Amino acid sequence: MTLAIIGGTGLTQISGLRITGQQSLETPFGAPSADYVFGEINGKQLIFLARHGNPHRIPPHKINYRANIWGLRELGATDIIAVAAVGGIGPLMAPGHIAIPDQIIDYSYGREHTFFADDLQHVTHIDFSEPYSATLRKRILQAAHNSGIAITEVATYGCTQGPRLETIMEIKRMAQDGCDLVGMTGMPEAALARELDLNYANISVVANWAAGIVAGEITMAEIEKNLQVGMAKAVDLLKAISLLPELTLV
């Protein structure tokens, strides 16, 4: 079992990761967001990729999701934990909080969203009823329990196009649809991992209340401040995950 971490906004590198190497890779779908970094946490090896590049420069709708996921599979990853900064919609989703979503609604558009598009021998469909790996989610939840990190265990992630933030009425619609979180990178990343039979789960770090949930304008200064707190918790959670024997690289 080989674990990969995809880091989102606020997580272009993992503190405490002992880097053992890095590799650039060209895929049939172009170049990934950044070089793949190999490292160790608590003696456990993993692969890390900065989703938005390093430095952070690629907006959500321009990320080459297909190259990112394909490259991880080529390098031997079997399990992917994707860390993402999100807005909070549900009443428990306060800034700095961590949620482990179990469902997703895709509001994005115009993205290259499948590997099964060209030169096919037959039309291919995947079951996406449960978009996140139940086994990998359980491991994350167990690590949170072991380390005393407060999380929400069930939540629906709504993926918007970006890079702009949403309007108040868009968030109201998403709340009516059942979304607890709003982010911009959850799809097609999750579906692409499923197409390649990779276990995939998400750690959502709430950076701000979504539009209209509380009064006032959403500012980048607010987001950055909240991410410092939330991403520190996420890194602690990743370190706790690395202590689980099920994720030991053999």
> DSSP characters for the chain?
--EEEEE-TT-SS-TT-EEEEEE---BTTB--SS-EEEEEETTEEEEEEETTTTTT---GGG--HHHHHHHHHHTT--EEEEEEEEEE-STT--TT-EE--SEEEE---SS---S-SSS-SS------SS-S-HHHHHHHHHHHHHHT---BS--EEEEP--SSPPPHHHHHHHHHHT-SEEESSSTTHHHHHHHTT-EEEEEEEEEEEPBTTBSS---HHHHHHHHHHHHHHHHHHHHHHHTSGGG---
Q: Is 209 known to sit in a ligand binding site?
A: yes
Q: Is 187 known to sit in a ligand binding site?
A: no
Q: Is 9 known to sit in a ligand binding site?
A: yes
Q: Is 185 known to sit in a ligand binding site?
A: yes
Q: Is 51 known to sit in a ligand binding site?
A: yes
Q: Which residues are annotated as a binding site for phosphate?
A: 9, 51-52, 185
Q: Which residues are annotated as a binding site for substrate?
A: 184, 208-210
Q: Which residues are annotated as a binding site?
A: 9, 51-52, 184-185, 208-210
